[in-house]
Structure 1
Amino acid sequence: MKIIKTIVFAIFALMFINAGLDKFLHYMPVPPMPEALQKVNEAIMSLHWLIPLVGFIELLSGILILIPKTRALGAVMVFPVMVGIICHNATFMPEGLMISGIFFIINLWILFDNKEKIKMLIN
């Protein structure tokens, strides 16, 4: 079970490292979007600091999740990003809810797996 957990957490971390790097390097093609989603995307892009901030958080949290000692901190850092992804998919791209829901569950799994460390952060 420990090997499976390590593999799942590593895939989760690598997905966020990839997403964070793409915010800076723009190497993944952007699929065609409906007009409503294009308007939302333009509004988000008009805040010039937001995409680099999200990219940095995704990149850093992905790296932290790869390291077992810092996995709890990485999961806490990426949790608000995951909530945003879930809300965005629920509103604009319901077909993306399946994969984002799986990744959200993995994030919750990491948080639950490290609940003692997280309790220390709160106290």
Structure 2
Amino acid sequence: MKIVKFILCLLFGLMFINAGLDKFFHYNPMPKLTEEQMKLFAAFTEIGWLMPLVGTVEVIGGLLFIFPKTRALGAIVILPVMVGILLHNVYRAPSSTGIAIAAVLFLINIWIIIDNKEKYKALVS
């Protein structure tokens, strides 16, 4: 079970590092967007600080998520971005594939948070 957790966390972290770096270097091809998605993307790019902030959080959270010692912090850092990804896929890009991938990633994130709940007790007491 320990190796499965490590592999899932490694892949999760690498996916977020890749997504975050892409916000700076734009090396992944853009998928076809609907007109509504293009308006949304234009609005996000109009807010000049938003995409670099999300990219930075994704890279830092992804790096933290990979290593067992910092995984609990990485899971909390990446959680707001993960919620945004899930909500975006449910409401703005409702394809079954996108929702399924977002849901699996969200569940991995929640699993790691629950698995590390003892580490968070000092924050909420």
Is TM > 0.5 for Structure 1 vs Structure 2? Answer: yes
What is the total number of aligned residue pairs between the two structures? 123
- Structure 2-normalised TM-score? 0.95
1:49-79 C-alpha deviation (Å, 9 max, x unpaired): 0000000000000000111111011100100
2:34 partner letter: P
Q: Distance in 2 between matches of 1:27 and 1:119?
A: 40
1:34 partner letter: T
Aligned to 1:115: 117
Matched, 1:85 2:79: no
For 1:18-97, what aligned pairs fall within 5 Å after superposition?
Answer: 18-95=18-95, 96-97=98-99
Q: Distance in 2 between matches of 1:101 and 1:36?
A: 22
2:111 partner letter: W
Deviant stretches of 4+, over 3 Å? none
Q: Distance in 1 between matches of 2:91 and 2:37?
A: 10
Gaps of 5+ in 2: none
Identical residues among aligned pairs (%): 52
Gaps of 5+ in 1: none
Q: Distance in 2 between matches of 1:50 and 1:65?
A: 22
Pick the structure with more helix per residue. 1
Q: Distance in 2 between matches of 1:83 and 1:32?
A: 23
Q: Secondary structure, in 3 states, of the residue corresponding to 1:68?
A: coil
Q: Distance in 1 between matches of 2:124 and 2:17?
A: 26
RMSD: 0.8
